[in-house]
Structure 1
């Protein structure tokens, strides 16, 4: 069985990683999403997504490889 996984930074040119994650979830509801961010403003974007029914995992940058692997195993 294959699982879809989206790994993205939150702050990107053109669209946020949260917007990208919502798009993926609309087309692939089972897609796991892992977002990275080094900015405090990310909390507002995630809260807005949660209010729309989307809950995404977030790792703060810099990301330690062990933390990344732990999230991927879940």
Structure 2
């Protein structure tokens, strides 16, 4: 089994990225859509997979942080 992950080439704290399946979407008609997030901290998941702590850039959860797999990020700048 190949466990290779297609993570962004260069991600650093403070960058803004997109999570393609943002479940915290603002649109009730589309409960999962691309959502912008701010990278707060780089930290592996408990499984050892590369991970990041992110904070949503819009909506009701902008004061919350989530620990997700690095491979879920795209369009980082």
TM-score range relative to shorter protein: under 0.3
Q: Which structure has greater helix proportion?
A: 1
- TM-score w.r.t. the length of structure 1 is 0.25
- TM-score w.r.t. the length of structure 2 is 0.25
Q: Which structure has greater strand proportion?
A: 2
